[in-house]
Structure 1
Amino acid sequence: MEATEAVEPAQNTPAPVPDPGPEPPARPAPRRRGTVRTLALIAVAAVIGLVGGTAVGYGVQADREPTPLPPLNQPGLAYPKPLPKGQKRTPLPASQDRQAKAQGDLRKLLLPKPAGAKKDPYAEDVDGWMSVDTFAGMFTNPGGLLKGELGNEIRRIAATSWTDGKHRRTHIRLIQYRGGVSRGAEWFAEDQHAYLPGEDYADGEGSPIKGSAEGRSYVFPVDRKPGYLDLYEARAVFHRGDIAVEIFIVDSKKISEKEIASLAERQLGRL
């Protein structure tokens, strides 16, 4: 048996490389889809179209006749309603007409003195009337208050006062302002309500007066000083129409909330 000669592979022979085939054709460069100039032209055209359309729309609307509103579906809304033929409206009697009552003698609207009470000898009213300058002199800044009240068209002041018991004194003032556009009575009451709750006065918000929109009554803390009697004070402030009302009770004995509230409600009822 013949020996087979081993064939050794050739050393450093490169491996065969596969044929890649023919080269693919070169791709053409992509075309540009537009230019900056084209975009600018389109934008300008859009703006011109918008402005032109708006102008035409306004022009068309301006040339049209106004469209009338539809008639109301409730023809009976007119007020006051007309009376039947031959009938006339009768005015309110003076006892029910608040305006007529306020235009008369203002002193008649003041509460009368209680039975057994006496006229206060230190009262500052004269025959039931108080002058505006006397009224202003009761405040810490008389000149400023007088100027303000004249600007608010103050008209007149009716006042009454009495003593009841050993040291109790009661004062009521009706401060009337001119009607029309003036809101003097309302403003006066608001000014009093602004400072009365302070710690130097009632030191509290007070209590609402029944029947009044904004009226309040206040009972002050007792004022004690060596060598003097204790001082108790209560006030009520409200307004009705063109009349502002101030009520004061001063005593050396305690004043109840019920007492000042009752007095205020009775005075309000007379207005």
Structure 2
Amino acid sequence: MRIRATVAAVSGALALSALAVPAAHADDSVGDTKISNVVVNSGKSVVVGATAAKKVTVTFTVTDNSGVAWAQAILYHGPSVEKSDTGAIADGKDGEATCTKVNATKSTCKSTFTLEPAYNLTNASAGTWKVWALAAAKDDDFAQKDNAKSFQVQRASKLTVNASPEPVKKGKTITVTGKLSRANWETGKYAGYTGQSVKLQFRKKSSSTYTTVKTIKTNSKGELRTTVKASADGYYRYSFAGTSTTPAVNAAGDFVDVK
């Protein structure tokens, strides 16, 4: 079948890290087969650390008046599946989804993928990924979607803080240092995230809410350093809002006793 050849070409191209997949084109369909309700990682961004592989689950619904024969999803990064620079084929036999019949015309399908640093993840591939999906019906109808769903794959982030001296006299200067780092998928380590805006926040000992004191930027090593005047007992922390490639993160509050 033509659709079998198409999915084989896409799977093979991604497995071999090839960029051209002439058999796969933009959205295509024959008959009344529909793909809908595509959900990646329960609707959350996929955050991957420096070394450990991450399992990603994709679920979707397929409908056709004759019933569903099979389905498959593939994850990829790039402007289109034909021009992808990396991707992932679903774990399991032939990369096909496991489809569970809901009724005579509808099935829910599920695939699990493995994203792994230094294998199919490079630093440049952080950001927006897409789901390529294909479903076939029992009467040979089919539906293919080049971008059935977009989602974010991000480099895990870490943020530290240290406020000193501790204790400190009221009105004296407190120096607050820290570092923002994120996973480097190519070296297997965490490295400083440079030039990023980070908020210094303070929470009084008697309060449960942090308020922003000022905003500063990380230096060329991802380091943070600023000063404030001691006013009351409480906790200082740094807070990073995140970017498309790196998730938001808050440092654990560091308590300062003001005398």
Structure scoring higher RCO (CA < 8 A, sep ≥ 6) equals 2
TM over 0.5: no
Larger Rg: 1
TM bucket (normalised to shorter chain) is under 0.3
TM-score by length of 1: 0.21
The structure whose residues are more often strand, as a share, is 2
TM-score by length of 2: 0.22
